[in-house]
Amino acid sequence: TIDLTVLEVVAPAGFSGLSVTVSVTPAALTAFADASVSFTYTYVNPPAELSIKRGSIEGGTRLNATVYGFPLMNLQSNIGTLGVRFGSTPGKVIRIVRSEVDSAVVELGVPPVSSTGVVDVVVTALLSEGQKSSRTTYEYFEKPSIEAVNPVSGPKEGGFII
């Protein structure tokens, strides 16, 4: 799209960290001068994916997180470089389940919190090339409780709806 002040173009696919020169050479629009600017491709991590997206404020749930933007990691020697936070509360990295070229599956322990609601989950790795993180959200709810059972008894064969 073009008007007298704005030229909108779509960048083709590139590689993270690649710097290119974007040049505009008007053919029929002689009122515009040739122009060029620098453009650098960056990589934006997709959000992390959790195997379980919500749980009780009591914590204790174990779940798997698929985190992106992490290079291939040795499965156990890098576990000490990983950390996770559920909101402002530290969680536990239990183990690296699987590691691939640009992602990893990490087993996490969900910490207890004092209130319900949605929190940001951030998994961070301190690697030789710097800190990498992958994020998503997790929802805490009150622990369900049973107030009554009706009826209070049924046939020994089971199959009775209570």
In DSSP notation, 76-97 reads TTTGGGEEEEETTEE-EEEEEE
User: Comparing C-alpha atoms, which of 65, 5, 69, 22 is closest to residue 43?
Assistant: 69
User: Pick the residue with more confidence: 63 or 1?
Assistant: 63
Distance from C-alpha of 73 to C-alpha of 95, rounded to nearest angstrom: 12
Residue 135 has pLDDT above 70, yes or no: yes
**pLDDT band (50, 70, 90) for residue 59:** very high
Residue 48 has pLDDT above 70, yes or no: yes
pLDDT of residue 7: 66
pLDDT of residue 79: 66
**pLDDT band (50, 70, 90) for residue 77:** low
Distance from C-alpha of 31 to C-alpha of 58, rounded to nearest angstrom: 67
Query: Which tens digits make up the pLDDT trace of 114-131?
Result: 999 999 999 988 766 677
Q: Output the average pLDDT for the chain.
A: 81
Stretch 21-47: mean pLDDT, rounded?
66
For the full predicted model, state whether its pTM sits above 0.75.
no
Residue 98 has pLDDT above 60, yes or no: yes
28, amino acid identity: A
pLDDT of residue 74: 56
Q: Report angle CA 49, 51, 55 to the nearest 5 degrees.
A: 110
